[in-house]
Amino acid sequence: MPTRRLFAAGLAALALLAASCASSGGSEPASAPSGDGTFPVTVNSGDGAITLDAAPDSIVSLSPTATEMLYAVGAGDQVVAVDDQSDYPAGVPVTALSGYSPNVEAVLGYEPDLVVAMDDVGDLVSGLDAAGVPTLLLPAATTLDEAYTQIEQLGAATGHIGDAAELVASMRSDIDEVVAGLPPRPAPLSYYHELDDTYYSVTGDTFIGGIYAMLGLRSIGDAAGADAYPQLSAEYVLDADPDLIFLADGQCCGVTPETVAARAGWSELTAVRSGQIHVLDEDVASRWGPRVVDLVRNLGAIVAAAEPAAQPTR
């Protein structure tokens, strides 16, 4: 194993050990990972912690983001079934299983030794626990750091600590490079991110809102109230006059730059007149897995071209 990977694996192991200690009030966990393939291992879950006595070889994923993470850390060969929304990478074992309304008996039909899910819906955890199957809950991340932590958790749970550490290091480096390459501006550009054609949007308090903020953008939804996903109105968007519009409803709702421009009064918006309406891949824009790097690169290129670099002050 290369020196860089050994070093990364050691850092990941220490981080996971510290996180496990913190979750148990400072006491030492039952087991802590010391390297790839070291078991038993205790990993923090959304509802506490789980201990795996051996590397799982029959994983069921009920979360599209978790599915992407599992394959990215090298655990794809251990995955036997994924939910009906998991569509990446190509060739994943898609089934009729639902992550929104999971059926415990259906999940157990795949004889899993680990189930990964986003939420404990319909008493999923207790039902699987009664059958002796551990569940690792990875709720929707609200920051990049939370996403990185979940990748490391999956790496530890599947025996791929070093792979997970390398993936996180690569993601950090790639994202930092994009941010560092952006031109300086005297003020943030404003944007409207459309989740559906009823004008639901996002604020800077969401995961993708944090991505936008990192790239020097400010959501027009920030002034709409305390809701992180506010439902705006056409009039609100017109009054805010965003510099950029991002559409995350092209696949679900058939929204295009042309249909946006055809809305009453919207042809006069700055974003419409300057051709700054951009259709996003809904899956990439809504998941917090490894492809967030692709999202950052795409958005970074848009932001870099949206306005000339500000002249330095003298």
What stretch of H or E contains 61?
strand 59-61
The domain that holds 143 is classified in CATH as 3.40.50.1980
Give the DSSP letter of residue 245: E
Same domain, 15 and 157: yes
Indicate the pTM of the whole model: 0.85
Q: Which residues are 116's β-sheet partners?
A: 61, 136
pLDDT above 50 for 99: yes
Residue 313 maps to a domain: no
257 in any annotated domain = yes
Q: Is residue 312 part of a domain?
A: no
Query: 303: closest CA among 200, 237, 217?
Result: 217
Neighbours of 38 (CB within 10 A): 16
**194 shares a domain with 53:** no
Which residues, including other chains, have CB under 8 Å from residue 235's CB and lie 6 or more apart?
none
For residues 206 and 294, state if they share a domain: yes
List CB contacts of 243: < 8 A, sequence separation 6 or more. 189, 190, 191, 270, 271, 274, 276, 306, 307
Range in 2-16, 111-125, 207-221, 275-289 with the lowest mean pLDDT: 2-16
Pairing between strand 48-52 and 41-45? antiparallel
In a domain? residue 288? yes
Residues 136 and 43 in one domain: yes
How much helix, strand and coil, in percent to the nearest 5, is found in the chain? 45, 15, 45
Q: Model confidence over 240-264: pLDDT tens digits?
A: 999 999 999 999 999 999 999 999 9
Q: How sure is the predictor about 47, in pLDDT bands with cuts at 50, 70 and 90?
A: confident
Same domain, 231 and 299: yes
Looking from the CA of 260 toward its CB, the CA atoms found within 13 Å total 32
> Please, what is the average pLDDT of the chain?
88
> Are 245 and 215 part of one and the same domain?
yes
Would residue 311 count as lying in a domain?
A: no
CB 79 within 8 A of CB 91: no
Count the domains in the chain. Answer: 2
**Is pLDDT at 7 greater than 80 in this prediction?**
no
Residue 35 and residue 157 in one domain = yes
| Residue range(s) defining the domain that contains residue 77 | 3-171
In this prediction, residue 308 carries a pLDDT of 52
* Final residue of a structural domain among 171, 196, 216: 171
Question: Which of residues 171, 203, 231 is at a domain's end?
Answer: 171
